[in-house]
Amino acid sequence: MSRIWKNIGLMFMALCATVVFAQDAVLKPFVLASKGVGDVAQKVEATKAALAKAGFTVAGSYSPYPDATIIVVTNDEMKNAAAKSEHGGFGVAQRIGVTKVNDSVQVSYTNPPYWANGYRMSGELKDTAAKLQVALGKVEEFGAKGLTANQLRKYHYMFGMEYFDEPSVLAEYGSHEEAVKAVETGLAAGKHGVTKVYRLDVPGKKESVFGVAMKGAGDAKYMDDKYIMGVIDFGDIKSLVHLPYEILVTGNKVIALYARFRIALSFPDLKMTGQNSFMKIMDSPDAIRDALSLTVGGKKDAR
């Protein structure tokens, strides 16, 4: 009998060790699916076909700069998780990028468990991760030294900077429908350099997420997609799928993750100072917030 209890005890300790290991497993923001010679346009079409075959729905796509295309997709697992999560609309989609780097075309995508934990989703989207790997491949995860699930669920870059649950409230309206209409109208007008890439509605909730492209020049350059990525996306493997940014209509409120959180979640290892650092884009968080706020009918300095 004592041997039986001893074996049960060993099994329990092994199970606990497995759980601890899983909790401590390091996740990285992006996955390199493939790289090699090819044509960007042809690779984009092949990628869309592979995604559709794997059961993904393409919500939208855009090219933030030459030789770079981002495809945004969703599926039932993402929609269900979003419906069960507070502000789950931020995690209702995954992003796939196709970009030319020198003579090579890279295909990459957001790592679903990383972003699910960073956005405090109800699940880790492991089935979605498996389907992306089957559809597109997986060479390696990249973009950071890595963070555990526990670290991601309470992530902020440093003391005094925003968490996931501290978004900017860009505007408020009398109803969800009125708020959605204001966002659609503002994005269609594009007066502040912000235009729509996609819209997804979270099932069973009054919640809609809009992916947006941002273009600006002169004094407005600090909110520009190309300008920001030109500073911080300097690695050999490109982190293109940091884009696009999101606007979330939840109930009658229009909100956005503050850029000091949203950018840092994609680039958690980015240095504070130096040539390619947050200091070089220190004006971008406020510029992004103001552009988004003005686009949806709000004011500057939204809180």
Average pLDDT over residues 199-228: 97
Count, residues in the chain? 303
Average pLDDT over residues 209-222: 96
Amino acid 23: pLDDT = 52
pTM for the full predicted model: 0.91
Q: In this prediction, what percent of the chain has a pLDDT beyond 90?
A: 90
Burial 94-133 (b: 16+ CB within 10 A, else e): bbbbbbbeeeebbbbbbbbbbbbbbbbbebbbeebbebbe
Average pLDDT over residues 142-156: 98
What count of other Cβ atoms lies within 10 Å of the Cβ of residue 260? 22
- Tens of pLDDT along 4-49? 444 444 444 444 444 444 457 999 999 999 999 999 999 999 999 9
Amino acid 9: pLDDT = 44
Say how far apart CA 140 and CA 213 lie, in whole Å.
Answer: 27
Domains of the chain: 26-149+160-295 (3.30.310.70)
Q: What is the 3-state secondary structure (H, E, C) of the chain?
A: CHHHHHHHHHHHHHHHHHHHHHHHCCECCEEEEEEECCCHHHHHHHHHHHHHHCCCEEEEEEEEECCEEEEEEECHHHHHHHHCCCCHHHHCCEEEEEEEECCEEEEEEECHHHHHHHCCCCCCCHHHHHHHHHHHCCCEEECCCCECHHHHHCCCCCCCCCCCCCCEEEEECCCHHHHHHHHHHHHHHCCCCEEEEEEEECCCCCEEEEEEEECCCHHHHHHCHHHHHHHHCCCCCCCHHHCCEEEEEECCEEEECCHHHHHHHHCCCCCCCCCCCHHHHCCHHHHHHHHHHHHCCCCCCCC
| 148 has a pLDDT exceeding 90 | yes
- Tens of pLDDT along 99-147? 999 999 999 999 999 999 999 999 999 999 999 999 999 999 999 999 9
Say how far apart CA 66 and CA 70 lie, in whole Å.
Answer: 11
Q: In this prediction, what percent of the chain has a pLDDT beyond 70?
A: 92
Q: Is 167 exposed, middle or buried (0-12, 13-18, 19+ CB in 10 A)?
A: buried
